[in-house]
Amino acid sequence: MKAKTVLITGATSGIGKATAYRLAESKMQLIICGRRREVLDEIREDLSQLTPVISLCFDVSDNNQVIKAIESLPEDFQNIDMLVNNAGNAHGLDKIQEGNIDDWDKMIDSNVKGFLYVAKAVIPGMVKKSSGHIINIGSLAGREIYEKGNVYCATKHAVNAISKGMRIDLNKHNIKVSEINPGLVETDFSKVRFKGDPKANKVYEGYKALQAEDIAEIIEFVISRPGHVNIADVLVLPQDQATSSIINKK
């Protein structure tokens, strides 16, 4: 039986990278995507010892790049069975009246528009064969709002709404849509958000945050369910986190 082909965006770090390694161990054929060519090449070379892997270097926020990348797939990788729609970012932590428009644009372009661009490029192939599974990586921030998280939370609320819309529109095409919403995960996320500010290192102090590998394990579980089972929605938090702003730090 031919291995399933999985396309993972944001595969150069964090949840995307951990998922690539987890699924490689399961012998799934991988398409790893990201913006950093050298890192992609290193990961591809490493994972190629376990399973067939190719890499696509593009920016999800540029629709032309997305289309060209997907169209460039070799024949053996064109039949995409699963999409892990993971790429995204957070920039800044400001009150709405003090917000940086460049930060807003980056989050909307990646977390909403890029999320849609990749899905739009992959879904027609799934519709054509009447099968597939889309796993959208959302966030606890898509379920609640926290102070100074206005636009980031809005983008993750959009992921939640679009995931529900996808599930409705793709239902008759036998395509599963799952949304996985983590709370605090210890990755480079905060370093990007705070642009190297030392306070980024304190985000995960005083408690045990989720690890990228925890989410990768959940993704593997979700996609390995029987055909009649779709885990539509998962919210997962570290034990010490009750809400976005209530964390039991020791």
Q: Which residues form the catalytic set?
A: 152, 156
Q: What is the pLDDT of residue 193?
A: 62
Q: What is the pLDDT of residue 121?
A: 98
Average pLDDT for residues 122-142, to the nearest whole number? 98
Q: Tens digit of pLDDT for each residue in 143-185?
A: 999 999 999 999 999 999 999 999 999 999 999 999 999 999 9
Q: What is the pLDDT of residue 195?
A: 65
- The arrangement of secondary structure in 5-236, i.e. its CATH architecture, is 3-Layer(aba) Sandwich (3.40)
Average pLDDT for residues 47-59, to the nearest whole number? 97
Average pLDDT for residues 68-72, to the nearest whole number? 97
Question: Would you list the DSSP string of the chain?
Answer: -PPPEEEESSTTSHHHHHHHHHHHHTT-EEEEEES-HHHHHHHHHHHTTTS-EEEEE--TT-HHHHHHHHHT--GGG-S--EEEE----------GGG--HHHHHHHIIIIIIIHHHHHHHHHHHHHHHT-EEEEEE--GGGT---TT-HHHHHHHHHHHHHHHHHHHHHGGGTEEEEEEEES-EESSHHHHHTTT-GGGGGTTTTS--EEHHHHHHHHHHHHTS-TT----EEEE--TTBSSSS-B---
> Domain map of the chain by residue range?
5-236
Q: Tens digit of pLDDT for each residue in 192-208?
A: 666 666 666 788 999 99
